[in-house]
């Protein structure tokens, strides 16, 4: 199937009434959850995961994806008006967006953010549509050896690149892998780490995700509050029409941000958060002559917004074509696919073309809906912001409890979620990142399966990983990534020693 | 390669990583512990999960939701007891309509 007939099939699928409805539900929930500070897309996706049992895989993926990219739009609103990032990718949006709102340019900041999000998404969609097919054809030749190496690279890259503490991040991904191995071994039927029969099928993905992310996120929101600028409370649709003057300065940073975001999104293991910081850094470097940043510079808002939306679309490339999630949220989506009986990987495009192309077309549909939600209807979301947190989070807690319980119909899973919630709180206090834990949990069993298959095929000869070129490159990059922070530490130590020597 | 190989290898690796983190060798970027733990909020959130788990199969879905929402709402210091009870009651009605009626989840509203 070529690109054109794929897109044709995709739009035919995405425009079916039921799929349109689920795309709308997805972006609406995503937008709402993005606007609520402290509750991210992760929680929203996990909350709605049990619902997908009642839907077909295409509807499920369209809805869950809608939540994911919808939350990027919503997150920008809180960041601009309250300087409270609703999602990790929205942290950078606060840097220039909030000063703009304080300078009385709230409407301008909101419309630029929405337009940049749309622009980034379009670039991302074009890249996914054009790139996924050739990549999946290429990936069809991959064997267990290549997959093992790619997964190692993805796991280590996400640990090292996206967090400030590589050692802790790697430790968390190893712990996640161990948790993922709990249950019945698929090759031999042996029970591993099974304490009671509740764990025969392993630790519940829902309990882990909801405990470590959901409940911990809710706890972070308690006691935090902000006040919306009164001028922003009366935003009508007229205020959201962009002026031609601001559009002139829009396209250059939007392009830069979109390309940076697309690149980082498409690499396995590096999600959108990194790309927002990098594109902000690029804008800072390019624009430093015309004054200081942090004072409400539009380009510092446009580029990161474009980057995180482009990245949140292109991250579907490794997830859908290789079956390797780009970040923790994609890991959860991958889990949703597996639950729905679809094995992610290069075969998805040929075996489930309507799922794959329908999903891509739904990105277009969903983003159009989001622009309508964000430009003419922005006043609605500003009002939504004034709903106090105390009235919202108990309802989210109920959804979490119901979701964890109904996921496997197990009461034990609720207690497991409680334990993970406590672990999540302690991890946060000691600055152990939670995302690698979930990524390791999802990738661990896949990694083991490929390792054992590779060893079975090659008579236990470990050198195959170095003899296959793709695998050798991936493992080489992995080692490099692990050595990079080590080298950085040594270099900075050498510098301080030299500095002290010079001073003495 | 048997079923115990990877668990054993990962266990050893985790042991080494744990030791390295404890010893604060150069690899670990030292990060200060971020903030104090709000024990009231933590206990309320944990308690709400435990309340749901311990009652859902015994008292039924609606009482379990009521207790979950009530216990969770106690996390916020400013919330009065009266407000918590109201909030829990409203959420119970919404949850009953959404999960039991609209989505027709196979759960008992009351009793086991």
Tell me the pLDDT of chain A (504 aa) as tens digits.
Answer: 688 888 899 999 999 999 999 999 999 999 988 887 767 788 888 778 877 878 888 999 999 999 988 988 888 888 888 877 766 777 888 888 888 888 888 888 888 999 999 999 999 999 998 888 888 888 888 888 998 998 888 888 877 766 667 788 889 999 999 999 998 888 888 888 888 888 888 898 889 988 888 887 788 777 766 666 555 666 666 667 777 777 888 899 999 999 999 988 887 766 667 788 888 888 888 888 888 888 888 889 999 999 999 988 998 888 888 888 877 788 888 888 887 888 888 888 888 888 999 999 999 999 999 998 888 888 888 888 777 888 888 988 998 898 889 888 899 999 999 999 999 888 887 778 888 898 889 888 888 988 999 998 988 888 889 999 989 998 998 888 888 777 766 676 677 666 554 443
Q: Which of A266, A262, A288 is nearest to A276 (CA)?
A: A262
Could you tell me the residue ranges of all domains in chain B? 39-102
Residue A417's CB is within 10 A of a number of other CB atoms, namely 31
Query: Å from A26 to nearest chain B CA?
Result: 17
Q: Is the dihedral of CA A483, A488, A490, A494 positive or negative?
A: positive
For A20-83, the three-class secondary structure string (H helix, E strand, C coil) is HHHHHHHHHHHHHHHHCCCCCHHHHHHHHCHHHHHCCHHHHHHHHHHHHHHHHHHHHHHHHHHC
Q: How confident is the prediction along chain B (112 residues), in pLDDT tens digits per residue?
A: 788 888 999 999 999 988 887 776 544 445 455 567 788 899 999 999 999 999 999 899 999 999 999 999 999 888 899 999 999 999 999 999 988 888 778 888 888 7
- In the stretch 57-76 of chain B, residues with CB closer than 8 A to chain A read 57, 64-65, 68-70, 72-73, 75-76
- Best of A220, A401, A445 to substitute, by most chain B Cβ atoms within 10 angstroms, is A401
Burial of A174 (0-12, 13-18, 19+ CB in 10 A): buried
Pairwise CA distance, residues A171 & B20, whole Å: 10
CB-CB contact of A176 with A441 (8 Å): yes
Place of tokens 């780490």: A193
Nearest to A168 among B2, B28, B77 (CB): B28
Give the tokens for residue A105: 């340019």
Q: Do residues A29 and A69 lie in contact, with contact meaning Cβ atoms separated by under 8 Å? A: no
Angstroms from B111 CA to nearest CA on chain A: 16
A403, A47 Cβ separation under 8 angstroms: yes
Predicted complex ipTM: 0.91
- Grouping H, G, I as helix, E, B as strand and the rest as coil, residue A184 is strand
- Token pair 């490099």 is found at A480
The region that residue A476 occupies, defined by phi over 0 for left and psi between -120 and 50 for alpha, beta otherwise, is alpha
- What is the distance between the alpha carbons of residues A78 and A82, in angstroms, rounded to a whole number? 5
Query: Distance, in angstroms, between B71 CA and closest chain A CA?
Result: 8
- Number of folded domains in chain A? 1
Distances in whole angstroms, Cα of residue A10 to Cα of each of A16, A145, A319, A355: 10, 33, 18, 8
Of A181, A394, A414, the CB nearest to B49: A414
Give me the helix-helix angle, A353-374 and A378-385, nearest 10°.
80
Long-range pairs, A341-344, Cβ under 8 A, ≥24: A341/A57, A342/A57, A344/A319, A344/A320
Please give, rounded to a whole number of angstroms, the shortest distance from the CA of A234 to a CA of chain B: 28
Nearest CB neighbour to A397, from listed B48, B56, B94: B48
Q: Which domain holds residue A329?
A: 3-503
Flag if A414 and B52 touch (Cβ within 8 Å): yes
Interchain pair B26, A493: CB under 8 A: yes
> Which residue does chain B place closest to A415, by CA atoms?
B50
The pLDDT of residue A136 is: 83
Measured between alpha carbons, how far is A127 from A131 in angstroms, rounded to an integer? 6
């Amino acid at each position: 199937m070529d690109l054109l007939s794929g897109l044709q099939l995709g739009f035919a699928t995405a425009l079916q009434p039921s799929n349109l409805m689920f795309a709308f539900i997805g972006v609406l929930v995503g937008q709402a959850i993005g606007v609520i500070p402290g509750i991210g897309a992760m929680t929203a996706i996990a909350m709605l995961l049990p619902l997908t049992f009642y839907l077909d895989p295409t509807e499920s993926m369209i809805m869950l994806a809608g939540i994911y990219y919808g939350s990027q739009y919503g997150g920008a609103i809180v960041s601009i008006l309250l300087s409270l990032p609703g999602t990790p990718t929205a942290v950078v949006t606060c840097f220039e967006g909030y000063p703009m709102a304080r300078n009385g340019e709230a409407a301008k900041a909101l419309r630029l953010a929405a337009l940049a999000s749309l622009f980034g998404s379009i670039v991302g969609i074009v890249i996914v549509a054009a790139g996924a097919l050739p990549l999946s054809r290429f990936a069809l030749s991959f064997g267990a050896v290549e997959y093992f190496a790619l997964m190692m690279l993805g796991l280590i890259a996400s640990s090292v690149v996206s967090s400030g503490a590589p050692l802790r991040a790697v430790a968390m991904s190893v712990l996640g892998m161990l948790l993922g191995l709990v249950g019945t071994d698929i090759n031999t039927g042996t029970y591993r780490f099974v304490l009671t029969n509740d764990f025969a099928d392993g630790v519940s993905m829902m309990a882990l995700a909801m405990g470590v992310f959901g409940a911990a996120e809710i706890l972070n929101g308690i006691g935090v509050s902000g006040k919306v600028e009164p001028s922003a409370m009366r935003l009508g649709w007229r205020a959201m029409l962009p002026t031609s003057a601001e559009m002139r300065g829009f396209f250059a940073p939007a392009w830069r941000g979109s390309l940076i975001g697309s690149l980082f999104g498409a690499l396995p293991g590096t999600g959108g958060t990194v790309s927002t910081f990098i594109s902000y850094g690029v804008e800072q470097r390019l624009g430093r002559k015309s004054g200081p940043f942090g004072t409400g510079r539009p380009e510092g808002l446009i580029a990161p917004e474009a980057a995180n939306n482009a990245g949140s679309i292109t991250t579907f490339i490794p997830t859908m074509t290789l079956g390797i999630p780009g970040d923790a949220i994609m890991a959860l989506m991958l889990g949703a696919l597996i639950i729905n009986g679809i094995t992610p990987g290069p075969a998805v495009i040929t075996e489930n073309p309507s799922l794959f192309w329908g999903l891509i077309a739904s990105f277009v549909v969903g983003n159009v809906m989001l622009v309508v939600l964000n430009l003419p209807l922005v006043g609605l979301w500003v009002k939504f912001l004034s709903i106090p947190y105390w009235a919202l989070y108990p309802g989210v807690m109920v959804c979490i409890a119901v979701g964890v319980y109904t996921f496997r119909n197990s009461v034990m899973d609720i207690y497991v979620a409680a334990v993970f919630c406590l672990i999540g709180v302690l991890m946060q206090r000691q600055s152990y990142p939670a995302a690698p834990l979930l990524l390791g949990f999802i990738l661990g069993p896949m990694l083991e399966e490929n390792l054992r298959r590779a060893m079975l095929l090659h008579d236990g000869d470990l050198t195959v990983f170095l003899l296959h070129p793709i695998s050798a490159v991936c493992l080489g990059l992995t080692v490099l990534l692990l050595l990079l922070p080590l080298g950085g530490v040594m270099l900075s130590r050498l510098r301080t020693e030299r500095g002290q020597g010079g001073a003495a | 390669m048997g079923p115990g190989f990877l668990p054993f290898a990962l266990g050893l690796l985790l042991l080494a990583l744990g030791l390295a983190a404890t010893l604060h060798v150069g690899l670990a970027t030292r990060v200060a512990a971020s903030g104090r733990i709000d024990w009231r909020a933590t206990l309320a959130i944990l308690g709400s999960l435990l309340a749901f788990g311990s009652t859902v199969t015994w008292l039924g879905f609606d009482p379990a939701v009521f207790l979950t929402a009530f216990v969770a709402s106690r996390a916020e210091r400013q919330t009065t007891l009266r407000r918590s009870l109201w909030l829990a009651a409203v959420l119970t009605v919404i949850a009953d309509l959404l999960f039991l009626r609209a989505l027709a989840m196979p759960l008992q509203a009351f009793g086991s």
